[in-house]
Amino acid sequence: MMDRSINLPLFRYHPDPLFTGSIIQSNAKCSACGQMRGYIYTSTVYSSYDLEDEICPWCIADGSAARKFEATFCDDLPLIDAGIDAAIIQEVTTRTPGYDSWQQDAWLTHCNDACAFLGDASKEDVLSIAKDGLQVASGEWIDQETMRGIAQNYRAKGSPAFYKFKCLHCGKILYGVDFD
């Protein structure tokens, strides 16, 4: 089990970044605050600086890493396209840990808000999606037949990848998909 003795900052839109793997225990020094905080962010950073495994969760949470390096941690375009409030987009892109994706991360939305990212879908999740087929965020439809085939061979962090999100308002579970 992961060590939960240190309280990480709370991220409304990414409630368990240790579980999703975006944040890991590490002795790496944070390039924003210059300290070894015991945890480091491992996932997507959009910045002109190379910041792989170099930012601590606290410098994400307070926005200081985003300010210092003009960094964002996920793409704002899907959120803009969904008509999400600018303050929410700001929180998700600059004060929330992002996630690993193959080609393009896309933060899902529901009920006029960004959803909480829950991590890679489990095999059980993908099997349950396969019962109905899947409407992908881009509007494409993956039919039941195709989904069943995918589910047979699915493993988390493989390709295709399924990312699980939950609406913070109605509780609906949504999945994003990406391929290598």
Residues that bind Zn ion (CB under 5 A): 30, 32-33, 56, 59, 110-111, 167, 169-170, 172
Quote the least distance from Cβ 153 to Zn ion, whole Å. 30
Q: Which residues pair with 161 in a beta bridge?
A: 178
What CA–CA distance (Å, rounded) separates 106 from 108? 6
Q: CB count, 10 Å around CB of 73?
A: 27
> Of 98 and 150, which CB lies nearer to Zn ion in the complex structure?
98
Quote the least distance from Cβ 63 to Zn ion, whole Å. 11
Under 8 Å between Cβ of 23 and 61: no
> Of 8 and 30, which CB lies nearer to Zn ion in the complex structure?
30
> Of 59 and 147, which CB lies nearer to Zn ion in the complex structure?
59
> Of 6 and 143, which CB lies nearer to Zn ion in the complex structure?
6
CA torsion, points 27, 25, 47, 79, in degrees to nearest 10?
-160
Quote the least distance from Cβ 99 to Zn ion, whole Å. 19
Quote the least distance from Cβ 64 to Zn ion, whole Å. 7
CA torsion, points 133, 138, 140, 144, in degrees to nearest 10?
-10
